[in-house]
Every structure is written in C-alpha cells, then in structure tokens.
Amino acid sequence: MLYLTLLICFLSSVILTPIIKKFAIRIGATDQPNQRKVHTKVMPRLGGLAIYISSMIGFYILQPDQQYMIPLLAAGTIIVATGFFDDIFEISPKVKLLGQVVAAGIMIHGGVVVHFINLPFDLRLDLGYLSIPITLIWIIGVTNAINLIDGLDGLAAGVSSIVLITISTMAIVNGNAFVMAVGFTVLGSTIGFLVYNFNPAKIFMGDTGSLYLGFIISIISLLGFKNITLFSLLVPVIILGVPISDTLFAIVRRIVKKKPLSAPDKSHLHHCLQRLGFSHKTTVLIIYAMSAIFGLAAVMIESTTLWGSLLIVGILLIFIELVVEVVGLVDSNYRPVLNFFSRVTNARKI
C-alpha cells in the first residue's frame, strides 16, 4: 500500500501541476526576473500547491498515526498559507517568520520535542528548559534552509527528494511507520512536481513549496531520530548537509560583510558553481551528487561504531571546507586550507 500511495501521489502531482500553473498565471502569482534571479522570463509560482494537495491525498489514503498527523496537518496548512501569501503579495520576513513559529509551536505542543541526547560512554544530556527552544530552532532552521537553496530549476525539489529518500529508507530499517508514510507520500508528490520543475522549468514551487518541504523534512527528521545517541542525532544534520551548510555559510558571509541576515545575495552554492563556469543543469546535478554523498554518509553512520562515526564526520567536515574554499562560498579570498597545502607544496619544491 505504501508504494501504491507513492505512485498515486506522483500521478496526482503530475496532473495537478499544470492546473496550478494556469491558476498562478491567472491570479498574478509570478516570479519576475531581476539582477538576483537566474531566470530571464516571467515564471508562474505556487507549484508547491501541487505538492501539498498531492501529499494530502496520500495522507488520506494511508491515514498515519493520529498522534502526530493532526498537528502536522494543521501546522503544514499554516506553512503553506504563509508561503502562498508570500508568493502572491511578497509579505515581510517578520510575517513569514511568525507563520513558521506558529506552525512549529503546534508541532511542539503535539509532542515533537527533543528532551535528551544519549552521549557516548553511557552518559546522557538532559536538555531541560532548552528542549523547546532547540526544537523550535531546528524546525525553523531546516524550513528556511530548503527555502534558501530554491534558486535553480529543480534544485530544491531534487535535493528534498534525495533527503526524503534517505530518511524514508532509514525509517523502513528502524520500523518507524509514521516517518515512512509521511516521507514516501511527500516524496511521490515532490517527484511528480519535479517533472515540470527540472531545467528548463515550466513552473516554480515558490515559498509555498519550499517552506512546506523544509517544514515536513524538519519534522520527520526529528521524529525519526530523536532521543537517541549523539551521532544518531547528527544523522539528520548530515542528511541535510547541503542546505544546512549553504545556510550557515550565508550567515557567516553576511556577518563578515556586515549585511542584514535577511539580505538576499548571489553567493549561494549554486551561484558560486555557475560562476566557475558550470551550466545551469550541471550545477543542479553536482548539488544532487553532493546531497547523495551526505545521504550515504548518514546511512553509514547509523550502522557503524563510535570511532567509525568520528572518522566519517571528520571526512565530511574536510570535504565541506574544501568545497567552500574552491567555490568561494564565504569569499573568493577565503582559502586557509588550500593556501596551507600550497605553502607545504612550495616548501617541498625548495
């Protein structure tokens, strides 16, 4: 039934997306080209509505555990409404954040909270009063991380699909029926939309889709891996390695350049790759590959020892740093590791 529902969600999204496209054009929910945008023609937004409606069909068929499903339906609808109004009226960042906080609050009230972390050597870290703030920051952070990478045709939808495949597969291994059901339902809906969104895109998902996908991913990653070991808690962080890294370095970049955190720029990972000469489609495929690497690393961490986990995390950190320096994600002059290797190489030549 699970895989049949995935297929139904896929077909529903394929059928609904052209209808949503006409609706977006009719009400003026379009994305205008400008200096910061990659596209050069007016594009309809609201494609996320097709993902949302298709996933609702899947939820109705599977009817996952009501404990979390009812809050998720309410919170997800608030997130979609927030994105919907932003796609039409371009609401302020504060109003968008308010919508996210309300949605996150509903999930926290519904029981989605990380209370403690099991540490190595049979130790346990009780989060106490920090449980709710940390959960809130995680939900809002991941929601906006997916939103921030939505800058190229098929990028956010493709990366989200890879993340959903990873989380859903691990949920099957762990026997987590709720995460499995939600993950595959949204996955089918997202891939159906990707048919129209991959380069050259015919429609954008808009904030309606990127906020919804980010929110769903933030919730199922918490429900799939909460209250377990320290390195298991790192698993969802690693699965989301690309959007989280891009977001963190965007924050660093804006602090260094003394710009507001909400200020838009053209220095995200996909912008940097394009400046290196990669085509639109190749850039997206490179980021897909990076997401797949993070997903594979997360699966390996789940099935290895403590020392194995440390080794994988160390390799990933070096990989991230090298990518950041090569593409100039912080600044074109930020190259400490590459400069160190260059000095060592030159010293050996002497």
CA distances to 15, 113, 119, 233, 259 from 122, rounded to whole Å, are 52, 22, 6, 15, 44
CB 47 within 8 A of CB 17: yes
Is a pLDDT exceeding 80 seen at residue 232? no
Q: Which residue has the higher pLDDT, 265 or 66?
A: 66
What mean pLDDT comes out for the span 146-168?
88
Q: Which residue has the higher pLDDT, 31 or 53?
A: 53
pLDDT of 192 reads 97
Round to whole Å and give the CA distance between 122 and 144. Answer: 34
The pLDDT tens digits for 237-270 are: 787 778 778 878 778 777 777 777 666 666 778 8
Q: Which of 179, 193, 285 is nearest to 236 (CA)?
A: 179
Instruction: DSSP letter for 258, please.
Output: T
What contacts 201, CB < 8 A, 6 or more positions away? 39, 43, 153, 154
CA distances to 115, 131, 206 from 128, rounded to whole Å, are 7, 6, 37
Instruction: DSSP letter for 201, please.
Output: P
Residue with tokens 């009226």: 89
Q: What is the pTM of this model?
A: 0.86
Q: What is the mean pLDDT of the chain?
A: 85
CA distances to 77, 202, 245 from 290, rounded to whole Å, are 31, 25, 11
Tokens for 242, please give them. 């690309």
The pLDDT tens digits for 177-224 are: 899 999 999 999 999 999 999 988 899 999 999 999 999 999 998 887
Least confident of 142-151, 227-236, 259-268: 227-236
Instruction: State the pLDDT confidence band at 71, using cuts at 50, 70 and 90.
Output: very high
The H or E element containing residue 30 is strand 30-31
Tokens for 17, please give them. 């997306």
Round to whole Å and give the CA distance between 251 and 249. Answer: 5
Least confident of 20-29, 205-214, 301-310: 301-310
The H or E element containing residue 123 is strand 123-126
What mean pLDDT comes out for the span 133-150?
88
